[in-house]
Structure 1
């Protein structure tokens, strides 16, 4: 099995060195570069395309949000935001710029590796703390969410996605197959002009894409 090629972008030497050690001692990962700012991360990704770019937000020269947009638009790799900031606007900007995940820096090495592998495999991730912050301040569906775009079954599925359920759990809850759930979600994303389920959950809860 090929190793997952990773670029680490963080303006802290301590964080970069720590993540580099954590990942490189694992045979499943290959850290191909470490960047001190967003501009360096973009340039590294251009020279050596990575599978996953671990991206801090607040960095000099070019922020992680800006670098994410550049990397995604050039299809240079999948971006996983790794930060100390759980501000809603930053999460929204990161997702809109194409980040496939948004997690905080307080996770164990094993949890971080699991999330990198999820991103690599095509599964988007949103930190539980960030997700809970959204749901605690909101009461179900936002008034700006356009329910008229979707069927009643699709709305059921959307609500369960926003509640954080996996396709397997949604299937069990609604007594349908996982394949049917997957097909419904694909249709929902297309109707809503959305890229992935994390963006769908944010749209349902906040009314903002």
Structure 2
């Protein structure tokens, strides 16, 4: 006789495990084509020349041009990028990523390991953020009641221990590669200590940023 094992996942638990980015019909914005350093709509020898001149100190690049010229996405413009663009033009290399949206409607998620109203005084609460649909790297700054508790950095998490019960204003300032900022504020309630055997489900808060 075969044993049948059933796995049951509650709707609320399933929802807490899935991060679903939301996009509107207007989510398509300006894009930077990888390797198109001069941003003229095509990758050609002019892009190679501009990047070579930059490396020789004979030209400057805007942040957008530098980002397009970083074709291996190591956040540095160097001779490797020049070689890869040349190989791409010759048909011998495909870029890892064809294009990158600049900043229209980028999505940020902010969640905590305890729902608002479930965290207790004296209990460390960890907030986690992530961002999509824009030029990376992203940097994050966190504030509690208007006071910076974690300065702008690449760290997408911060842990905070609340000393008093009450409702706190949690602010996230998220910046994309071009320093375009998305400010997201939530209100988070902390309660006095209590006993509970009920598992706590993470809360997820998503927004879409309009330029």
Shared topology, TM-score over 0.5?
no
TM-score by length of 1: 0.27
Q: Tell which has more relative contact order, 1 or 2 (C-alpha 8 A, sep 6+).
A: 2
More helix by share: 1
> For the pair shown, which has the larger CA radius of gyration, 1 or 2?
2
TM-score by length of 2: 0.27
